[in-house]
Amino acid sequence: MLLAGEESIRLLIKEPSQQLIDFIQAHSEDEDKILSGIPRFEIPKSDFEGQVLREMRAVMRENAPKIAEHTSEELMTWTVFLELYQSLDNFEYPHKDKLLEFIKYFFLDHLLSKDQVMINFLAFKEHLLR
At 26-68, the pLDDT tens digits run 877 776 666 666 555 455 667 778 888 888 888 888 888 889 8
Asked whether residue 49 is assigned to any structural domain, the reply reads no
Q: Which domain holds residue 117?
A: 60-130
d(CA 37, CA 31): 10
Q: Are residues 38 and 87 in the same domain?
A: no
Q: Is 100 exposed, middle or buried (0-12, 13-18, 19+ CB in 10 A)?
A: middle
At 59-95, the pLDDT tens digits run 888 888 889 898 889 999 999 999 999 888 767 777 7
Q: For residues 9-25, give the mean pLDDT.
A: 67
Q: Are residues 127 and 70 in the same domain?
A: yes
Q: Are residues 117 and 67 in the same domain?
A: yes
Q: Which of 34, 16, 35 is nearest to 26 (CA)?
A: 34
Asked whether residue 53 is assigned to any structural domain, the reply reads no
Q: Which of 13, 3, 110, 123 is nearest to 55 (CA)?
A: 3
Which band of pLDDT confidence, cut at 50, 70 and 90, is reported for residue 13? low
Taking the alpha carbons of 8, 9, 12, 15 in that order, is the dihedral positive or negative? Answer: negative
pTM for this model (two decimals)? 0.61
Q: Are residues 36 and 64 in the same domain?
A: no
Of 18-22, 41-45, 93-97, 125-129, where does the model show the most confidence? 125-129
pLDDT recorded at residue 11: 52
